[in-house]
């Protein structure tokens, strides 16, 4: 490390150990100026975000692996040709390998969900952050679609091999992507941070102002050690609660319920599609919604798009509930409406893909201050997976308790609550810098919320 990289924090600290920059006791970030990003090149940011988001593709391939592979394993005659003498050992090893593989896949997925959205948020400028924030959820869908397409005609060994190649592709493309400038400055690698900013912003952009801003944030974050009690302060617990809340409304929108019931809905609509083909249709519909949301999010903003997505999901769930209520109580009346469940499912999934699918990951990474972004992202990801598990495990019980119609209405009610949550509690982060978003949680400005 050269002299110019020797502990930037030390250089800004007096001999008495006190920082020369006054730090507000409440940790409110000071915003002296706004950086003009008009000359920043978008292409490198998009490429870097795509590379990081490919980790979500790997995760999606892992999540989608069991859908085409499990039926083949259950019916595979070659695997069943095991002698009685070896069957006990075979079954033990089979289970151990399966559990170990899924455990490692789950750990990798957790790391991916905590790190990738943070990295994308740190490297992107406010004007492109909304669009690139959609890359993460889109790649999850693409990864699932990848395994579903492989499952249409390939043996389980080739499907597993295809999934095993994806981490190697991720490693290869990430090799050429620079580290986050914030991370580099935090670790006193100033020269590398400058190179990273120049790579991400292009040659026409003067990185000095942004580098100074990053240094100020690092000084502020480093001079006050993070304690457990800090999580009880508004600047910390409010954004964490926002992150958990958007994950809650994503999972309780009924997404898993609709996906779980998609084959039955298509069968009711008169479709004779194979289960795997049906899954491919559902994922493609979700991806179309993702692409549509990525196009409009920077124009509409996060809050309006979140509310629109919740409204579409609410309406679709209510219509699905209405149809299944008619089907159970008056089948003759429901016959002419056989087109309704398929239409509602398509509208619902595209609406989710447009907003509720990708926005929670984007919003949770945007609202969290840099000082607790790692911990906060981990909490949000844990909440997402935990809530997903709860919804998946309880759907059958809810369906049996209140009928399929009641189950769809149940989730429709949460979608309605999500609209009011976004209207009154969700801050708008469109075109806001990290410093402006952090300042809102310390001294709330309702204009930030209403814009």
CA distances from 357 to 45, 217, 252 (A): 22, 31, 12
Would you place residue 79 in the very low, low, confident or very high pLDDT band (cuts 50, 70, 90)?
A: low
Stretch 289-308: mean pLDDT, rounded? 91
Q: What is the DSSP string of 116-153?
A: HHHHHHHHS-HHHHHHHHTHHHHHHHHHHHHHHHHHTT
Mean pLDDT of 31-56: 87
Range with lowest mean pLDDT among 156-165, 245-254, 439-448: 439-448
Dihedral angle computed from the Cα positions of residues 230, 235, 238 and 241, in that order, rounded to the nearest 10 degrees: -60
Q: Report, as an integer, the average pLDDT of 104-110.
A: 85
Q: What are phi and psi of 13, to 5 degrees?
A: -120, 135
Predicted pLDDT of residue 15: 38
**Residue 241 — pLDDT band, cuts 50, 70, 90?**
very high
Q: Strand, helix or coil at 430?
A: coil
The sign of the CA dihedral 221, 222, 224, 230 is: positive
* DSSP letter string, 149-161: HHHTTS-HHHHHH
> pLDDT tens for residues 30-42?
444 578 888 899 9
Q: Which two tokens stand for residue 146?
A: 């990848």
Task: Report how far residue 113's alpha carbon sits from residue 361's, in angstroms, rounded to the nearest whole number.
Answer: 8
Q: Give whole-number Cα distances, 291 to 135, 298, 349, 355, in Å.
A: 9, 13, 13, 10
The winner for highest mean pLDDT among 175-179, 217-221, 371-375 is: 175-179
Residue 93: the pLDDT is 61
Q: Residue 9's pLDDT band (boundaries 50, 70, 90)?
A: very low
| Res. 396 pLDDT band, cuts 50 70 90 | confident
Give the pLDDT confidence of 176-202 residue by residue, as tens digits.
999 999 999 999 999 999 999 999 999
pLDDT at 14 over 50: no
Phi then psi for residue 107, to 5 deg, are -65, -45
Q: How far is CA 14 from CA 11, 182, 217, 353, in A?
A: 8, 23, 18, 52
Query: What is the structure's pLDDT at 328?
Result: 87
Type and span of the H or E element at 292: helix 275-300
65 within 8 A of 159, measured Cβ to Cβ: yes
* 126-171: pLDDT as tens digits: 889 888 988 998 898 899 889 888 888 888 889 889 999 999 999 9
């Amino acid at each position: 490390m050269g002299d110019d990289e020797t502990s930037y924090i030390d250089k800004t600290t007096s001999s008495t150990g006190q920082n020369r920059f006054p730090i507000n006791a409440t940790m409110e970030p000071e915003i002296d100026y706004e950086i003009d990003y008009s000359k920043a090149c978008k292409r490198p940011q998009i490429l870097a975000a795509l590379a990081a988001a490919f980790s979500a593709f790997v995760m999606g391939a892992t999540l989608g692996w069991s859908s085409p592979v499990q039926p083949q394993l259950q019916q595979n005659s070659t695997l069943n040709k095991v002698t009685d003498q070896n069957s006990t050992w075979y079954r033990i090893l089979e289970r151990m390998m399966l559990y170990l593989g899924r455990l490692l896949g789950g750990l990798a997925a957790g790391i991916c969900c905590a790190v990738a959205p943070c990295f994308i948020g740190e490297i992107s400028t406010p004007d492109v952050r909304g669009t690139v924030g959609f890359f993460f959820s889109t790649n999850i869908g693409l990864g699932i679609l990848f395994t579903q397409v492989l499952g249409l005609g390939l043996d389980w060994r080739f499907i597993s091999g295809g999934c095993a190649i994806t981490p190697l592709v991720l490693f290869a493309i990430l090799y050429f992507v620079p580290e986050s400038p914030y991370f580099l400055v935090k670790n006193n690698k100033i020269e590398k941070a400058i190179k990273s900013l120049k790579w991400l912003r292009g040659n026409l952009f003067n990185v000095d102002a942004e580098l100074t801003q990053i240094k100020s944030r690092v000084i502020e974050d480093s001079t006050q050690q993070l304690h457990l009690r800090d999580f009880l302060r508004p600047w910390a617990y409010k954004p964490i609660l926002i992150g958990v809340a958007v994950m809650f409304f994503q999972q309780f929108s009924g997404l898993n319920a609709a996906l779980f019931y998609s084959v039955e809905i298509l069968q009711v609509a008169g479709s004779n599609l194979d289960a795997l083909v049906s899954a491919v249709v559902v994922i493609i519909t979700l991806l179309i919604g993702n692409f549509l949301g990525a196009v409009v999010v920077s124009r509409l903003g996060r809050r309006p798009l979140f509310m629109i997505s919740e409204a579409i999901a609410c309406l679709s769930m209510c219509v699905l509930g209405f149809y299944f209520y008619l089907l159970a109580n008056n089948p003759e009346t429901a016959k002419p409406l056989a087109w309704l469940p398929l239409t509602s499912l398509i509208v619902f999934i595209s609406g989710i893909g447009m907003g509720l699918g990708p926005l929670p990951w984007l919003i949770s990474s945007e609202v969290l201050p840099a000082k607790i972004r790692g911990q906060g992202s981990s909490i949000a990801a844990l909440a997402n997976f935990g809530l997903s598990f709860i919804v998946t495990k309880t759907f059958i019980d809810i369906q049996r308790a209140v009928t399929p119609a009641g189950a769809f209405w149940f989730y429709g009610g949460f979608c309605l609550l999500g609209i009011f949550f976004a209207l009154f509690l969700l801050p708008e982060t469109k075109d806001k810098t990290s410093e402006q978003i952090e300042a809102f949680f310390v001294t709330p400005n309702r204009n930030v919320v209403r814009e």
